[in-house]
Amino acid sequence: MARGERRRRAVQAEGVRTAERAARGGSGRRDGRGGAPRSTAGGVAVAVVVLSLALGLSGRWVLAWHRARRAVTLHSAPPALPANSSSPAVAPGLFWGTYRPHVYFGMKTRSPKPLLTGLMWAQQGTTPGTPKLRHTCEQGDGLGPYGWEFHDGLSFGRQHIQDGALWLTTEFVKRPGGQHGGDWSWRVTVEPQASSTSALPLVSLFFYVVTDGKEVLLPEVEAKGQLKFISGHTSELGDFRFTLMPPTSPGDTAPKYGSYNVFWTSNPGLPLLTEMVKNSLNSWFQHRPPGASPERYLGLPGSLKWEDRGPSAQGQGQFLIQQVTLKVPFSVEFVFESGSAQAGGNQALPRLAGSLLTQTLESHAEAFRERFEKTFHLKEKGLSPGEQALGQAALSGLLGGIGYFYGQGLVLPDMGVEESEQKVDPALFPPVPLFTAVPSRSFFPRGFLWDEGFHQLVVQRWDPYLTREALGHWLGLLNADGWIGREQILGDEARARVPPEFLVQRAVHANPPTLLLPVAHMLEGGDPDDLAFLRKAFPRLHAWFSWLHQSQAGPVPLSYRWRGRDPALPTLLNPKTLPSGLDDYPRASHPSVAERHLDLRCWVALGARVLMRLAEYLGEAEVAAELGPLAASLEAAESLDELHWAQELGVFADFGNHTKAVQLKPRPPQGLVRVVGRPQPRLQYVDALGYVSLFPLLLRLLDPNSSRLGPLLDILADSRHLWSPFGLRSLAASSSFYGQRNSEHDPPYWRGAVWLNVNYLALGALHHYGQLKGPHQAQAAKLHSELRANVVGNVWRQYQSTGFLWEQYSDRDGRGMGCRPFHGWTSLVLLAMAEDY
């Protein structure tokens, strides 16, 4: 960035110098015929032209440089969270957590330079060669089901993992104390599946600790050469100790024989940990329990002498891993003890292990169950024990998927021209932290802006403090213009899991402002802590909304257009609109600046309404006066009808350069190619009945007496269009785009499948209109009851069948589709069960 800045300034300076020389009469060259200077008038004329060109070029360079600089400059508004809000001094209870959602089990600190811990495991001797090493959650690893049975988002969790014939249970619990986040303990239990008839396998567990180079790790070795414990020190954690306890049989305290190996080396980089361990499992060892036949296993050929690492390892981060190998079934405990917690009282605290750990885990599980029922009332509503367990798993999976990320994203600045004309390179955003839930641990283990608003609707009901932390971190990503990137890829671990073409975020691309949904809920709830947070967050919320309103403005007043549609490539049936969040939902067949997007206008209307109410509550009279007319205009029935009511279609719709006469046809050797027939595209309403058509209803922008409400309810309830036994389809079964691929390698995504986030908005809207007097009250109430039964019933059946929550569900047979587990917005099934909208 600095080199680019110097280059731009050099060009500007050269342009000014050229103009100055011209103004003085040229470069000093003489006319070839007489050696005399050119005429004064001619020289001045040339000087004026050259000066104008130079200043024009210089001005464009200055503007380009200014835009590029603002794109990667943090916003100047005061932060919504206190300084050092993630530190153990400010938030000790949240300092340690399961903030590595992409691994099956691991913990780290909320810190830019965290201390990380994790678990790997492998079944020995079940396949030829190196055993299958489990570590990171992968979509295609054949594992599952897996997920959190309980997770309170703070201090306790219990997870179950099925790995072939094995059943693993991973548990953790934290104990507060001291100045550094307190103590914590893990218990990992490995048992055979109840239905398994195969011989009990030999299993290796790998417990590891990773540092970045500044922390100190010192293994303490017993007389027999075995690792006794790991002591350490960091500036954030002070003194600490890790202890791997002797294994036992499940539910027993009697020790069980285990074979041990260690591996101690420099940190190769977090994305490379799995591969390093896999490549190091290259030596055979003997597992010799007393009185039993020995068995071979592959182990780590490690040494506990740091000098054996060689001079290249000195000063780097450390990676210390302990392998314990033994026969199923067994339990192993891994204990972290903080020096300041142990020194906090007159006598040392008992180690959180054995029977004390069992008691502590059970007390937390019971507290979770009681708090869950008190919060969501599922038992009181008559839901079955199985459905209650689904609700607990939905919440726990979401909370267990919260991560803490730190790093720099790549940003392509908005240069004020169409994307196809941009000629600039992406730049690094400043280093930033992000505390956020993730959509899917296996496939999307990072922050997504429009997903997070739906996530926090669930989290906010359970723990408002967690929601304030998440919202505050997202608002901390605001750049100088008020933009927030829609996908946050922060840190090496996150970056390693993203295809290169998706690493760069474009500063002209928006995303639905769903963070305003939990903001609206906080404002309505009136909790003093929430309102105090909203007062601090207001300048950033206002800046974010203002950027959305201005940057996505459409071709006519009160219209809006998503920037960032794909170009009309010959291989695409309908160019995608990724910034909308609805990806391949059909829009105008030929992208143009004349488009008007209905869903975006509705999101802006919601934003204007929420920000206006918040401004009024906070006494921000000037902002309320600014937003009041905008909110009123956007919600006015006449304006919405004028721009988006398609009389010929009988619904609200997008508008743009469109024709229905497009299809993909095979054309060797290119494969499937888009063919445009007749009629040719023209400016018209887009015939694509589906979720977009419902947005004035979904966001409750229609008056209960609106003449448009009835037709929308009728279409919603029609099985020929959107209604299915499993929830509302994303695209009508009557649409020519229904179930259609967008390219040869791009199957349908938002073209018929049932999505929980939009079905939840629909349930909330139907419940809303079912409570208000009007001609459609009874119909809305009836549809709410039926849709809730369909959605909840299908998610429950699929969970019973597969053990997973899914990204989307088939509108044809209800089966789960897409990635899994998907404890992001599919966890909204819990609020649907609770009828909490």
With bands split at pLDDT 50, 70 and 90, how would you rate the model's confidence at 539? Answer: very high
Residue 613 burial (CB count, 10 A): 18
Residues 75 and 108 in one domain: no
With bands split at pLDDT 50, 70 and 90, how would you rate the model's confidence at 196? Answer: low
Is 734 within 8 Å of 660 (Cβ atoms)?
A: no
Q: How far apart are the first and last CA of the chain?
A: 46
Catalytic, out of 337, 451, 807, 811: 807
The neighbouring-strand residues paired with 690 are 731
Residue 428 burial (CB count, 10 A): 12
Measure the CA–CA gap between 193 and 190, rounded to whole angstroms. Answer: 10
Convert the pLDDT of each residue in 557-584 to its tens digit: 999 999 999 998 999 999 999 999 999 9
Say whether pLDDT at 423 is over 80.
no
Convert the pLDDT of each residue in 24-80 to its tens digit: 333 333 333 334 444 445 555 555 555 555 556 567 767 778 889 999 999 999 999
Structural domain includes residue 806: no
Is 486 within 8 Å of 450 (Cβ atoms)?
A: yes
Measure the CA–CA gap between 780 and 694, rounded to whole angstroms. Answer: 14
Measure the CA–CA gap between 739 and 751, rounded to whole angstroms. Answer: 5
Residue ending a domain, among 500, 533, 552, is: 552
Residues 228 and 350 in one domain: yes
Convert the pLDDT of each residue in 583-598 to its tens digit: 999 999 999 999 999 9
Residues 85 and 160 in one domain: no
Residues 76 and 193 in one domain: no
Peptide bond into 145 cis (omega under 30): yes
User: b/e string for 60-83 if b means 16 or more Cβ within 10 A?
Assistant: ebeebbebbebbbeebebebbbee
Peptide bond into 821 cis (omega under 30): yes
Measure the CA–CA gap between 234 and 111, rounded to whole angstroms. Answer: 12
* CATH number of the domain residue 339 falls in: 2.70.98.110
Say whether pLDDT at 435 is over 70.
yes
Residues 131 and 278 in one domain: yes
Answer yes or no: 481 catalytic: no
Residue ending a domain, among 520, 552, 584, is: 552
Mean pLDDT of 393-398: 98
Measure the CA–CA gap between 420 and 525, rounded to whole angstroms. Answer: 45
User: b/e string for 688-699 if b means 16 or more Cβ within 10 A?
Assistant: bbbbbbbbbbbb
Residues 481 and 339 in one domain: no
Structural domain includes residue 780: no
Residues 263 and 364 in one domain: yes
Residues 286 and 316 in one domain: yes
Residues 127 and 75 in one domain: no
Nearest to 172 by CA among 113, 118, 122, 123: 118
Is 156 within 8 Å of 102 (Cβ atoms)?
A: no
Six token digits for residue 295: 């068995």
Nearest to 362 by CA among 218, 190, 150: 150
With bands split at pLDDT 50, 70 and 90, how would you rate the model's confidence at 156? Answer: very high
pLDDT score for 314: 52
Measure the CA–CA gap between 638 and 653, rounded to whole angstroms. Answer: 15
pLDDT score for 30: 34
Six token digits for residue 161: 């993992």
Convert the pLDDT of each residue in 543-562 to its tens digit: 999 999 999 999 999 999 99
Six token digits for residue 132: 């299958």
> For the chain, what is the total number of helices (H) and then of strands (E)?
19, 34
With bands split at pLDDT 50, 70 and 90, how would you rate the model's confidence at 499? Answer: confident
Structural domain includes residue 575: no
Which 3 state secondary structure label does DSSP give 248? strand
Percentage of residues of the chain with pLDDT beyond 70: 89
Answer yes or no: 5 catalytic: no
pLDDT score for 48: 52
Cβ-proximal residues to 577 (8 Å cutoff; 6+ apart), any chain: 562, 564, 565, 566, 583, 585, 587, 597
Strand segments (E) across 43-163: 96-97, 106-109, 116-124, 133-134, 146-151, 156-163
Give the global pTM. Answer: 0.91
Convert the pLDDT of each residue in 282-318 to its tens digit: 999 999 999 999 999 999 987 676 555 544 455 578 9
- Per the model's pLDDT, the better-predicted residue between 32 and 184 turns out to be 184
pLDDT score for 52: 55
Residues 336 and 432 in one domain: no
**What's 154-191 look like in SS3?**
CCEEEEEEEECCEEEEEEEEEECCCCCCCEEEEEEEEE
Cβ-proximal residues to 776 (8 Å cutoff; 6+ apart), any chain: 704, 709, 710, 713, 769
Mean pLDDT of all residues belonging to the chain = 90
Catalytic, out of 212, 239, 419, 583: 583
Convert the pLDDT of each residue in 92-126 to its tens digit: 999 999 999 999 999 999 999 999 999 999 999 86
Q: Which range marks the domain in which residue 176 is found?
A: 102-374
* CATH number of the domain residue 413 falls in: 1.50.10.10
Residues 186 and 131 in one domain: yes
pLDDT score for 257: 95
Is 343 within 8 Å of 178 (Cβ atoms)?
A: yes
With bands split at pLDDT 50, 70 and 90, how would you rate the model's confidence at 421? Answer: low
Q: Which helix (H) or strand (E) holds 532?
A: helix 528-551
Residue ending a domain, among 552, 572, 600, is: 552
With bands split at pLDDT 50, 70 and 90, how would you rate the model's confidence at 622? Answer: very high
Structural domain includes residue 437: yes
pLDDT score for 345: 58
Structural domain includes residue 748: no
Structural domain includes residue 595: no
Structural domain includes residue 90: yes
Residue with tokens 């002070």: 238
Structural domains counted in the chain: 2
Convert the pLDDT of each residue in 662-690 to its tens digit: 999 999 988 999 999 999 999 999 999 99
Structural domain includes residue 155: yes
With bands split at pLDDT 50, 70 and 90, how would you rate the model's confidence at 129? Answer: confident
Residues 262 and 345 in one domain: yes
pLDDT score for 195: 66
